[in-house]
Amino acid sequence: MLILLRCTCHAYALCYAWKPFELRRPLTSTRLLVGLGVLLFVATIGLWVFWLDRIVYFNTLSVMICLVTSPLLAAVAFVMGVRRRNPRLKFTIMDSLEEAISALAVIAVAEFFVLSLLVFFSSTRPGDYIARYEYTSGGKGCSGLQVYDRELEKHIKICHPDALRAGGKVRVEKRSGPLGITVKRAELL
């Protein structure tokens, strides 16, 4: 089966509709692992954005862990990157600064994903409480209600509860753990 395609030089070219797929370079284990790593990273981002971000809340211990270990891991990654540089290439101070800042950003985001998963899987102690709420819009990408959680000692936002009213009381079901809480559901009273 032949297909006529219009080229940029206003001439017609003949192309085969069924052409076998050929790799330019052979598929090696390194390329396969990198591809699987990228796929896993994209799946993790999707999992976090559409599910974990809305139900996981950190306590002060997990926030302190993130604030202390992110710069330390970024410093280790930066030192390893500097040691592996090619000595024949010239790097400016600005290049080194950009490398350090990008290492800090990537490691902080990755650590945030990992801590979210750890909070989700380590929250095993069920509990509930009744609290007053206020309706809020925006923030965490959803409208919802804002309640004060005594365990975290801060206000948290619960996305998309049943039917929202201007204010009142809500019963919040959650699971607690050593690193934070996971909100299971909220029911208006």
- Quote the CA–CA distance of 73 and 173 in Å, as a whole number: 35
**pLDDT band per the 50, 70, 90 thresholds, residue 139:** low
**End of a domain among 102, 122, 142?**
122
- pLDDT > 90: percent of the chain: 34
**End of a domain among 107, 122, 137?**
122
pLDDT at residue 11, as a whole number? 45
Question: Is 109 inside any structural domain?
Answer: yes
Pair (78, 136) in one structural domain: no
Residue range 48-66, pLDDT digits in tens: 888 888 889 999 999 999 9
Domain that holds residue 150: 125-188
- Quote the CA–CA distance of 35 and 174 in Å, as a whole number: 37
What is the residue whose two structure tokens read 């490398």? 99
Pair (117, 171) in one structural domain: no
CATH number at residue 139: 2.40.50
pTM, two decimal places: 0.71
Question: Is 69 inside any structural domain?
Answer: yes
Pair (134, 184) in one structural domain: yes
Residue range 65-99, pLDDT digits in tens: 999 999 999 999 888 888 887 777 778 889 888 98
**pLDDT band per the 50, 70, 90 thresholds, residue 2:** very low
Domain count, the chain: 2
Q: What is the mean pLDDT of the chain?
A: 81
**pLDDT band per the 50, 70, 90 thresholds, residue 157:** confident
Pair (71, 113) in one structural domain: yes
Question: Is 16 inside any structural domain?
Answer: no
Q: Is pLDDT larger for residue 30 or for residue 38?
A: 38
**End of a domain among 81, 105, 122?**
122
